[in-house]
Amino acid sequence: MIRIAILLTFVCLGSSLPAAGLAGKKPNIIFLLTDDQGYGDLSSHGNPILKTPNLDRLNAEGVRFEDFCVSPTCAPTRSALLTGRHEFKNGITHTILERERLTPKATTLAQVLKTAGYTTGIFGKWHLGDEPEYWPTARGFDEMFIHGAGGIGQTYPGSCGDAPGNKYFDPAILHNGTFEKTKGYCTDVFFSQAAKWIESVKGKQPFYCHLATNAPHGPYIARPEDKALFEGKVEGADVQNFFGMLHNIDQNLGRLLDKLKEWGIEKDTLVIFINDNGGTAGTKVFNAGLHGAKGSPWMGGIKASSLWRWPGTLTPAPVTKLTAHVDFFPTLTELAGAKITGEVKTQVEGRSLVPLLENPGADWADRQLFTHIGRWPKDADPQNYKFTQCSIRTARWHLVNAGGAPKKAAKGKAKAKAAPKAPAAPAKDAIIKAGPEPLPPSWQLFDIQADPGEQTDVAAAHPEVVKELAAAYDVWWDSVQPLLVNEKVPLAPVNPFKTLFEKQFGK
C-alpha cells in the first residue's frame, strides 16, 4: 500500500512538475507578432468586449510572462527581438527616414538558428529595411513573404515604402524577391502562406516561422463581417474595425493550432505570441489599468503579452519576473542548441528565459531596462533629445521622464508630483519637432509593484533611487551613441519596393 501511495503521489505531481532540460530540444517554433495590439486587447487580460479564445488558449495552456517589456513603437521592438539588444545599438531610432534599418553588422536570430539546422521563414511585416541588402533573405531567412515599410500601403520619404497602391485586401506581396498579387484579406493571406510553408517543411528539419501581421495597425480596416461583430458594442468605426481585425487574427490562430494537431506536430512545436508595443485604438475601451499607450515610455507603452505554449513540455504557469524583448533571441538559441560565440555573444544583452520556462519560480537577478522613444528630427543632434520620453525599469521601480524635448517643442512640461490621469493617445508616426536646446529631465518615480497604474509619483520619498537610476541612464545613453549609424544617412531618392514593382508590372 505504501508503494502504491508513493506511485500515486508521483503520478499526481507529474502533471505539475516544471519542464526540465529544455536546452537543445530543437522544437519547431512559430512566433506570432501583432502590430499595435495592446496588453489589454485580450479577453484573458480582462477586456470586457473583445473575445480572443485562441490567444486565451496560449495564455491558459502555456507559460505567460506577466511583466514583459518591449519598445514603445514597432521597428525598434522587432530589431530587439531579432538581435537580443536594444534598438539604438542596432541603429534604429525611428520607424522611417532610413532610421528603421537594421544595421548589417548585427547578427539575427534567423542566422543563428540556421547554424543549428533550422529552416526559417517570415510572413507579413518586416520593417527593418526595404532595400534588398536589408531584406530578410539577406538576414538569415530562407523564405520571405512580406509587405514593405511599416504597414501595407505606407510610403515615406526615402527607402521606406510598400508596393504602389497596396490595400488590406488583395495586396501585392514580395515573395522571395518577386511580387505576387494575392487574393483576400491581408491577415488571412499571411496565415495561409505560413501554413502552406510549414506543411512543406515539417518533418524534414526544425523550422522557425516568423508570422508578423500588419493588423491591427491603422488604417483600421477589418473584414466587414468581423467589424459587424462589434457594431453596437463599442463606439466609433475605428474601434469596431480594430477589434474586428483582432478577432480575425484570433480565428486564424485557432485554425493554425488545429493544423498543428492535424499534422501530428503539436507536441513538437513551441508557439509564442507577443505584441510589439503599447495599445492604440483599443485603449479607449480597456487598457488593463495601464498608464499611457503606444509611443510613450509609460507601462502602457512598453508592457506586452508574452505567451509560450509547448504542449507536453511546458507546464502552464505565470511568471512574474521582469523580462523583455531582448530575452527572445538568447532563449530561442538555447532551445535550438545553437552555439553563440565571439561577436554575437558580445552583441546579446538579453537573458535566456529557459530557467523560467523550466521553473517559473527560479532565481532571477534584478536588472535595468532602458526605454527611449527616439523619433527626433532628421539630422538633429540626438544629444538635444537625451531626455525626451525615456524611462528605466527595474523589478520594482519605473523612473520616467515624459517631457524633456527641446524648449520650442515642449508644450507644458509634465509635473513631477503626479502622473497625468488619462493615457496619452498614440500619434500617427509623429516626428518630434526640432528645437534648439534640451531641457533637463523632470524625473517621476513609480513603485510598479505597489502602483502598477503609475498614479503616484514617489520620487521625493526615494531620492536615492532616482539618483541611482538616473546615473545608470547617463551611462547607457553614452554607450549607445557610437552605434547610431543611421542618423546621417541621406534619404534614398526612390522607394525600392516601388521600383521593383514597376519593373515587374510596369507603371
User: In this predicted model, what pLDDT tens digit does every residue of 405-457 receive, in sequence order?
Assistant: 665 533 433 333 444 444 444 444 444 454 445 667 899 999 999 999 999 99
Judgement on whether residues 203 and 260 belong to the same structural domain of the protein: yes
Q: Determine the residue type at 279.
A: G
Residue 13, domain member (yes or no): no
| Domain's final residue, options 337, 358, 379 | 358
Judgement on whether residues 316 and 388 belong to the same structural domain of the protein: no
Judgement on whether residues 381 and 351 belong to the same structural domain of the protein: no
User: C-alpha cell of 242?
Assistant: 480594430
Greatest Cα pair distance, the chain, in angstroms, is 83
Judgement on whether residues 82 and 182 belong to the same structural domain of the protein: yes
| Radius of gyration of the CA atoms of the chain, in A | 22
Residue 9, domain member (yes or no): no
Residue 502, domain member (yes or no): no
Residue 193, domain member (yes or no): yes
User: In this predicted model, what pLDDT tens digit does every residue of 374-414 receive, in sequence order?
Assistant: 999 999 999 999 999 999 999 999 999 998 666 553 343 33
Judgement on whether residues 54 and 202 belong to the same structural domain of the protein: yes
Residue 429, domain member (yes or no): yes
Judgement on whether residues 390 and 250 belong to the same structural domain of the protein: no
Judgement on whether residues 194 and 248 belong to the same structural domain of the protein: yes
Residue 10, domain member (yes or no): no
Q: Are strands 444-447 and 397-401 parallel, antiparallel or unpaired?
A: antiparallel
* DSSP-H helix ranges across 264-341: 299-302, 328-336
Judgement on whether residues 110 and 241 belong to the same structural domain of the protein: yes
Judgement on whether residues 386 and 304 belong to the same structural domain of the protein: no
Residue 8, domain member (yes or no): no
Residue 507, domain member (yes or no): no
CATH at 476: 3.30.1120.10
Judgement on whether residues 42 and 82 belong to the same structural domain of the protein: yes
CATH at 138: 3.40.720.10
Q: Distance between CA atoms of 292 and 454, rounded to whole angstroms?
A: 9
Q: What's the pLDDT at 407?
A: 57
Q: What's the pLDDT at 395?
A: 98
Q: What's the pLDDT at 371?
A: 98
pTM of the model: 0.92
Q: Distance between CA atoms of 90 and 424, rounded to whole angstroms?
A: 27
Judgement on whether residues 310 and 400 belong to the same structural domain of the protein: no
- Domain count within the chain: 2
Low-confidence residues of the chain, pLDDT below 50?
1-18, 409-432, 434-436
Residues of the domain holding 252 = 21-358
Judgement on whether residues 315 and 412 belong to the same structural domain of the protein: no
User: C-alpha cell of 211?
Assistant: 508570422
